[in-house]
Amino acid sequence: MAEAADWLHDRLGCALQRRELLQRALTHRSCGPEHNERLEFLGDAVLALVVSERLVADFPAATEGELSRRRASLVSGTTLGALALELGVDHWLRLGAGARRSGVERRPSILAGALEALIGAIYLDGGLDAARLAIGRIFADRFAELAAAGPQQDPKTCLQEWLQARGLGLPAYTVEATSGAPHARLFRVRCAVAALDLAAEAEGASRRSAEQAAAERLLADPRLRQSA
Nearest to 17 by CA among 33, 29, 31, 1: 1
Within 13 Å of residue 155, how many CA atoms lie on the same side as its CB?
26
Nearest to 112 by CA among 145, 164, 75, 139: 75
Task: Report how far residue 206's alpha carbon sits from residue 212's, in angstroms, rounded to the nearest whole number.
Answer: 10
Give the contacts of 106 (CB within 8 A, at least 6 positions apart): 85, 90
Q: For residue 189, what is the enclosing H or E element? A: strand 186-193
Please identify which of the residues 40, 44, 105, 125 carries the catalytic annotation.
44
Please identify which of the residues 40, 90, 105, 116 carries the catalytic annotation.
116
* CB distance 181 to 197 below 8 Å: no
Q: What share of the chain is helix, strand, coil (3-state, %, to 5)?
A: 70, 10, 20
* CB distance 13 to 133 below 8 Å: yes
221 in catalytic set = no
203 in catalytic set = no
Give the contacts of 142 (CB within 8 A, at least 6 positions apart): 74, 79, 83
Q: Rg of the chain's alpha carbons, rounded to an integer?
A: 20
Q: Which residues are catalytic?
A: 44, 116
